[in-house]
Structure 1
């Protein structure tokens, strides 16, 4: 489903990714509209202004500002694919927007830094650390978000890393925060990536800023590591939604001759997994690393075992559509007799989805919070 996005810069058709039947959510929010109205009526950039956009979920800002040839930086592969799709849907040349992953930097001399405030504050902190040196002295820094997603920590982070801030009034439950670049600011050291010692191992785990549970092993993964697959016949594994890759690391240790594929839609997650794997095995083990939309583009019948901790939210939207896509594609990618093993919160009832897709499911282990389930491709 495509929605019509009407702003002073034009009228555009926009869609979210992944696409769903009967999509009820828009590919933009009131904060996007507020920011674009402000740029049209209060502070219109010069035609040759250098504009950098951060965390543009589905390309609404990039599409609307395409005349400026902006650079859009995101940690989300899906965000980049949505931006390209929405550019094409509006008959705009995709190369009118420069797409950068979260670990790449635009050229220096930024006139406008437009920030959609991300769900993970650490990502914002990392972005401000790395982009501040690239701002012009008179740069315009504007953060936009829904009021409910703008806690005091956002303001404090902007003031600590950029300079004084002032808020707009709230309109349609959205707000803009204007930050003034303080020339004599001394930046504190960039704390990212962070590292911690993985319990019961000699491994130092690297975590880039947008990786879930950066400072320690999360309780769900800890439980999953106690119940990994044991079948010695498995040779091709996929750590789907790999995060920092700890599950794949343990599979590689347990199956020295296996090939492990790490997959996530977060550039920082895959970068963390790659660094952790290379540090642990120093080229002595086979692995592949893929930034991707779940298992889109993977060869059918190419995996023996897929292990997954599915997300139940996409940015601020909660739902099971990502998990359902993972399960569907896992069924296609697994060989006959192959296993999908997942962990999830008990209330999510993933066993119903596995029963529908695989025709079978079995509880591996459970506790008060989590359940581990497996299903086989018959």
Structure 2
């Protein structure tokens, strides 16, 4: 896959993050190109902020960094690192990168929104923008044409202002919205719900998986979290709202539990849930990173993992493979990795190849719980 994006006599070298050998996926898409082409002749004030929301790997941030004061808003640590790497690779000045819960700069002139996969996050961002934007701000959304539905346009109309859409170009489409500040209202509180069988109260920010109930994979894994004094250090890898880590902490009160996710909203939810559910919230630490980057080797006795099988909108198994490889490095001798996955994903083959052993400790008609030992 060629990493060069060439438009308007300008070329950027753009790579996905983390960089993989024989990469088959681009770091930008047709919606990015459509946004760049549409705004190319737009007169911009270099003193007023430009907001770029949900920039996958920094293609838009790299393109617009010379056109104004760019702030990139993302919930993804991986997207953030990808943006920084591509800015460096193209010798461009860094932009201001903030997470979705951060305060945004005042009086922006242009907002570019790559539509997130999750409509809850889109709704949150539109409400956030309605509280911020002046009437003269230009707002343009972008996505694959197949991902822009009548319901998508209604979300823009309901939460931000008058909305219309473009024709499709290369299977991408733009959304144009005129902000209406009189529609502004307070941002909603995070979703909160109960897991009575485990005596847990769970708080979820907008972009966290399974926003209002316990997902069926986590429900099965919760029943098979081990309890043993030998576990001094436990990791919940890809923690989401932290429900697995919370249960592990309850079962192993003498253990230190680290919850890891690449979503800032997930980690914020996890931190809130530790305060809600643990007698000693300091027992649990939540960290934003890519898989287990930055964690010491030979530092954990037990890792619990429910791997994602997509990166943004791309279906891929490379994240699970990296999680398993990182787990082998971070586990102490005789440490255990417990993984849950859909039956069709075949994680047992990967685990056996890496650890030399794998066993099934639970299964139902959709999910399997595997265990491998170092």
- Counterpart of 1:267? 264
2:237/2:261 contact within 8 Å kept: yes
1:178-202 deviation per Cα after TM superposition (whole angstroms, max 9, x unaligned): 0012243254x53341000122244
- Counterpart of 1:205? 202
- Using the alignment, how far apart are the partners of 1:153 and 1:76 within structure 2? 25
Aligned: 1:71 with 2:68: no
- Counterpart of 1:31? 31
In the superposition, relative to structure 1, how do residues 262 and 84 fare at CA in structure 2: closer, same or farther (>3 Å)?
same
Match of 1:173 among 160, 171, 174: 171
1:309-328 alignment runs, 5 A limit: 309-328=306-325
Aligned: 1:150 with 2:183: no
In the superposition, relative to structure 1, how do residues 361 and 30 fare at CA in structure 2: closer, same or farther (>3 Å)?
same
1:12-59 deviation per Cα after TM superposition (whole angstroms, max 9, x unaligned): 100001221110100000000000111103x33233331001000000
- Per-residue deviation, 1:174: 0.5
1:227-261 deviation per Cα after TM superposition (whole angstroms, max 9, x unaligned): 11233311100000000000010001000110000
After TM superposition, the score normalised by the length of structure 2 is 0.97
Q: Which runs of 5+ in 2 are unaligned?
A: none
1:180-195 alignment runs, 5 A limit: 180-185=178-183, 187=185, 190-195=187-192
Match of 1:119 among 113, 117, 120: 117
- Using the alignment, how far apart are the partners of 1:269 and 1:153 within structure 2? 26
1:256-299 deviation per Cα after TM superposition (whole angstroms, max 9, x unaligned): 11000000000000000110011212535512211000001211
1:152-206 deviation per Cα after TM superposition (whole angstroms, max 9, x unaligned): 222111000111111111100001100012243254x533410001222443210
Match of 1:277 among 265, 274, 284: 274
1:166/1:178 contact within 8 Å kept: yes
After TM superposition, the score normalised by the length of structure 1 is 0.96
1:307-335 deviation per Cα after TM superposition (whole angstroms, max 9, x unaligned): 00000001100010000000000000000
Aligned: 1:369 with 2:359: no
- Counterpart of 1:136? 134
Aligned to 2:98, the other structure's residue is in SS state: strand
1:322-361 alignment runs, 5 A limit: 322-361=319-358
- Using the alignment, how far apart are the partners of 1:208 and 1:262 within structure 2? 16
Aligned to 2:109, the other structure's residue is in SS state: strand
Aligned: 1:253 with 2:250: yes
- Counterpart of 2:102? 104
- Per-residue deviation, 1:339: 0.3
1:9/1:64 contact within 8 Å kept: no
In the superposition, relative to structure 1, how do residues 174 and 44 fare at CA in structure 2: closer, same or farther (>3 Å)?
farther
Q: Which runs of 5+ in 1 are unaligned?
A: none
CA RMSD after TM alignment:
1.4
